[in-house]
């Protein structure tokens, strides 16, 4: 946190030390140096005259004050980094197959060996209640193939309950260093108890305990409450260091009917190629909609 703050504030602070206001300094930096890591600017930020090395989160003036909160208006319109150049576009002739699973595998394997991507399997999962109120959160992809995309969670969590009443979901992967994104849409089904149990016991014991003691998404009185439950369960973990999988914990598979591949271009003419299941009776015209394999068609979408 300290390093982050120092990083975010050091440029404007250095400029402020020369007697220039933070707003002026920040906007000129953002306008003139498009490749610089973005920083926050604020219309209402106070002038800070201390040198950067004297700053910490404890003594940045007004950082947590009600005054600052009331007048908060953070302008981040200048946050912008370059994406791919014109010669690195993603075109139809680069598709590795005319169905989306091979293409997903191709991009995923690349993401897994790309520097700066520590969890290529981290994905955002969007669910909705039966009356359409959405929520999303990160989960980890734990397997994929033509059957779909698998993840594990607590069936009584918020997402678990929403999936119970509405199985339609969307997933989103964003691999920032590659400027690539994949969106999946489809419905979920629960994995078998056997598959969930096998995966549960493949996890480190600490993760098994953590999952077993956590009433995920429920309010709890404090962190101590959870640590106490963890201690109790750990005391009862037998010789074989194994915890029973809670009945309420298990996996889902997302069975997709749409998978979209996105690659970002600096000029904002991004590439979007969407695979979707062919509608009954649909005949691809090979202009807008192209014939794929295994019941899929694909089309380019405007960015
Ligand atoms: C990178 C990352 C990966 C996560 N993976 C999982 C996961 O695989 N399963 C899970 O239940 N929660 C996972 N979480 C926690 C969820 O984001 C979320 O806090 C939790 O599942 C409760 O969500 P809910 O209240 O919407 O059901 C992960 C969080 C992060 C940041």
CB atoms within 10 A of CB 71: 14
Q: Give SS3 for 70.
A: helix
Confidence bin at 86 (pLDDT 50/70/90) = confident
303: its two tokens = 């960015």
From the alpha carbon of 153, which atom of ligand 1 is closest?
A: 11
For 214-262, the pLDDT digits (tens) are 999 999 999 999 999 999 999 988 777 789 999 999 999 999 999 999 9
For 200-210, the pLDDT digits (tens) are 999 999 999 99
Label residues 179-194 b or e (16+ Cβ within 10 Å = b). Answer: bbbbbbbbbbebbeee
Return the residue whose CA atom lies nearest to atom 31 of ligand 1: 138
Q: Where do the domains of the chain lie, and which CATH numbers do they carry?
A: 2-75 (no CATH), 87-300 (2.30.110.10)
For 108-145, the pLDDT digits (tens) are 999 999 999 999 999 999 999 999 999 999 999 999 99
User: What value does the mean pLDDT take over residues 88-99?
Assistant: 96
268 catalytic residue (yes or no): yes
- Kindly state if the Cβ of 137 falls inside 6 Å of ligand 1: yes
CA of 217 relative to ligand 1 center, distance in Å: 10
CB atoms within 10 A of CB 62: 14
> Is the pLDDT assigned to residue 187 strictly greater than 50?
yes
CA of 178 relative to ligand 1 center, distance in Å: 24
CB 54 within 8 A of CB 2: no
Of 70, 268, 272, 300, which is the active-site residue? Answer: 268
Counting ligand 1 atoms within 8 A of each CB, the residue from 140, 161, 202, 253 with the most, and so the one to mutate, is 140
| Cα separation, 210 vs 208, whole angstroms | 5
- Kindly state if the Cβ of 216 falls inside 6 Å of ligand 1: yes
User: What value does the mean pLDDT take over residues 61-79?
Assistant: 84
For 154-186, the pLDDT digits (tens) are 999 999 999 999 999 999 999 999 999 999 999
Confidence bin at 63 (pLDDT 50/70/90) = low
Per-residue model confidence (pLDDT) at position 9:
33
Return the residue whose CA atom lies nearest to atom 24 of ligand 1: 158
- Kindly state if the Cβ of 157 falls inside 6 Å of ligand 1: yes
CA of 139 relative to ligand 1 center, distance in Å: 5
Put simply, whether the predicted model's pTM sits higher than 0.85 gets the answer no
From the alpha carbon of 135, which atom of ligand 1 is closest?
A: 26
> Is the pLDDT assigned to residue 8 strictly greater than 90?
no
Counting ligand 1 atoms within 8 A of each CB, the residue from 119, 123, 136, 137 with the most, and so the one to mutate, is 137
Confidence bin at 30 (pLDDT 50/70/90) = very low
Label residues 106-120 b or e (16+ Cβ within 10 Å = b). Answer: ebbeebeeeeebeeb
Per-residue model confidence (pLDDT) at position 274:
98
- CA distances 165 to 122, 123, 124, Å, are 25, 22, 20
Average pLDDT, the chain: 85
CA of 1 relative to ligand 1 center, distance in Å: 22
Per-residue model confidence (pLDDT) at position 87:
85
């Amino acid at each position: 946190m300290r390093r982050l703050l120092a990083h975010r504030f050091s440029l404007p602070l250095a400029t402020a030390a020369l007697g220039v206001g933070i707003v002026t300094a920040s906007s000129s930096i953002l306008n003139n140096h498009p490749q610089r890591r973005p920083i926050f600017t604020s219309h209402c930020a106070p002038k800070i005259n201390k040198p950067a090395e004297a700053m910490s989160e404890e003594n940045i003036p007004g950082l947590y004050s009600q005054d600052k909160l009331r007048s908060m208006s953070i302008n981040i319109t200048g946050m912008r980094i370059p994406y791919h150049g014109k010669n690195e576009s993603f075109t139809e002739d680069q598709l590795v197959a005319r169905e989306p699973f091979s293409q997903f595998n191709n991009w995923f394997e690349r993401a897994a060996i790309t520097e700066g991507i520590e969890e290529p399997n981290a994905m955002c999962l969007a669910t909705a209640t039966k009356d359409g109120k959405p929520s999303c959160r990160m989960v980890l992809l734990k397997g994929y193939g033509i059957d779909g995309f698998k993840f594990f969670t607590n069936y009584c969590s918020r997402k678990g309950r929403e999936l119970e009443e509405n199985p339609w979901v969307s997933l989103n992967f964003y691999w920032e260093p590659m400027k690539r994104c994949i969106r999946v849409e489809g419905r979920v089904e629960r994995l078998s108890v056997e598959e969930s149990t096998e995966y549960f016991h493949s996890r480190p014991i600490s993760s098994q305990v953590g999952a077993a003691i956590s009433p995920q998404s429920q309010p709890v009185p404090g962190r101590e409450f959870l640590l106490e439950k963890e201690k109790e369960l750990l005391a009862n973990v037998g010789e074989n260091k194994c915890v029973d999988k809670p009945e309420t914990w298990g996996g889902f598979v997302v069975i997709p009917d749409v998978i979209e591949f996105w690659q970002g271009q600096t000029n904002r003419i991004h590439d979007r190629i969407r695979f979707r299941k062919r509608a009954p009776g649909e005949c691809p015209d090979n202009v807008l909609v192209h014939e794929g394999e295994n019941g899929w068609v694909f089309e380019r979408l405007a960015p």
